[in-house]
Amino acid sequence: MEYRKLGKSGIEVSEIGFGSWAIGGNQWGPVDNRESVAALKKAIELGINFIDTADVYGDGVSEEIVAEAIKGNRDKVVISTKGGLFGHHRDPQREPVYDTPEKVIAACDNSLKRLGTDYIDVYFCHLWWDKEEETEAFMRAFEDLKKAGKVRVTGVSAEDFAYIKHFNREGNLDVVQVDYSILNRNPEKEVLPYLKENGIGVVVKGPLRMGILTGKFNSQTTFTDTDIRQNWPQEAWFKESLAKVERLRPLTESGNGGSDSLAQLALRFVLANDAVSVAIPGAKTPQQVEENASASVRPLLTTQERQALEELTGAALAG
């Protein structure tokens, strides 16, 4: 496993992390808590030290599973969690919930209890729409949480460039979590160059585009009623994404000298951008963890892969 610095924070993180949304419940298909714990332990065994979760994943269940998995290994992991969606994630048209620093601090305290630790390495604001009073509450709370030793570094999970700059207007934003993949290269235009220039750590969510870049879906795929992907098969963007994945598939065929799987190719693509600190693909089994971890190889992209990806996406690769 290769490691990188999380921006100017100086924290060393594995370039492949563990995304813990799927292990919090059945929103991403069936899940077995015992297997989730085994997957997390396998990740630590393989040198993955960055574990990302959130208070809203399974209404706290994901954080509790992480706590169970890291017992006895707290010093080996960098815990990342997020606050800001509890209380209104089911109703976007709501009144501000986190409108005071005290409410943000209370949310962080609840995460600390569920995680079974007295400090969080990376604490994110999980709001992706701009309600000014809540943004201000988080920014003020972040400073108090750092001073109290409850969190080491703070950041925002967001894609909107103007919002990221607004959050960093005082120059004290440590980390940003952003959606970035072969199928979503929008961050390359403004967000990633800005974060690199300002020494802000970059945590990439969605590097496998919610499973699409694993190549396991096709036009006949269906999802359960509890799965957040249940309506995908009827949506045009999903069908277009499947077609792009099929164009990527030859890059994994024997003799091309590149990745062994589409997932590894997708992860190596993200890591090839030198603004990125860590990619956090989701995993529910030890086998998935092993495949994700194996993407940490050099060179990240072969000449063949780079040229093919440029042709597919119609853009020069950054990094």
What's the chain look like in SS3?
CCEEECHHHCCEEECECEECCHHHCCECECCCHHHHHHHHHHHHHCCCCEEECCCCCCCCHHHHHHHHHCCCCHHHCEEEEEECCCCCCCCCCCCCCCCCHHHHHHHHHHHHHHHCCCCEEEEEECCCCCCHHHHHHHHHHHHHHHHCCCEEEEEEECCCHHHHHHHCCCCCCCEEEEECECCECHHHCCHHHHHHHCCCEEEEECCCCCCHHHCCCCCCCCCCCCCCCCCHHHCHHHHHHHHHHHHHHHHHCCCCCCCCCHHHHHHHHHHCCCCCCEECCECCCHHHHHHHHCCCCCCCCCHHHHHHHHHHHCCCCCC
| pLDDT value at 314 more than 70 | no
Question: β-strands 120-125, 78-83: how paired?
Answer: parallel
| pLDDT value at 88 more than 60 | no
Give the pLDDT band (50/70/90) at residue 134: confident
Q: How far is the C-alpha of 266 from the C-alpha of 304, rounded, in Å?
A: 14
Q: What average pLDDT does the segment 260-267 reach?
A: 91
Give the pLDDT band (50/70/90) at residue 315: low
Q: Which residues pair with 279 in a beta bridge?
A: 16, 204
More confident residue, 46 or 59: 46
3-313 folds as: TIM Barrel (3.20.20)
Question: What pLDDT is attached to residue 299?
Answer: 84
Question: What pLDDT is attached to residue 308?
Answer: 82
| pLDDT value at 93 more than 80 | no
Question: What pLDDT is attached to residue 66?
Answer: 98
What is the four-CA torsion angle of 301, 302, 307, 308, rounded to 10 degrees?
Answer: -80
Burial (CB < 10 A; 0-12, 13-18, 19+), residue 184, is middle
Q: What average pLDDT does the segment 19-32 reach?
A: 87
Break the chain into its structural domains and give their ranges. Answer: 3-313
| pLDDT value at 191 more than 80 | yes
Q: Residues of the chain with pLDDT > 90: what percent?
A: 74
| Mean pLDDT, rounded, of the chain | 90
Question: What pLDDT is attached to residue 194?
Answer: 98
Q: How far is the C-alpha of 311 from the C-alpha of 54, rounded, in Å?
A: 37
φ, ψ of residue 73 in degrees (nearest 5): -130, 20
| pLDDT value at 61 more than 80 | yes
**Letter string b/e over residues 270-279, b meaning 16 or more CB atoms within 10 A of that residue's CB:** bbbbebbbbb
More confident residue, 50 or 85: 50
Q: How far is CA 37 from CA 6, 139, 276, 284, in A?
A: 25, 33, 27, 9
| pLDDT value at 255 more than 70 | no
Is the pTM higher than 0.95?
no
Q: How far is the C-alpha of 52 from the C-alpha of 203, rounded, in Å?
A: 9
- Asked whether the bond before 250 is cis by omega within 30 degrees of 0, the reply is no
Q: How far is the C-alpha of 158 from the C-alpha of 135, rounded, in Å?
A: 12
Question: What pLDDT is attached to residue 76?
Answer: 95
- 49 close to 14: Cβ distance less than 8 angstroms: yes
Q: What average pLDDT does the segment 53-57 reach?
A: 94
Residue 246 token pair: 């099929």
Q: Which of 48, 40, 109 is nearest to 81 (CA)?
A: 109
CB atoms within 10 A of CB 115: 23
Question: What pLDDT is attached to residue 319?
Answer: 47
pLDDT tens digits, 144-171 = 999 999 999 999 999 999 999 999 999 9
Residue 160 token pair: 């909107």
Active site residues: 57
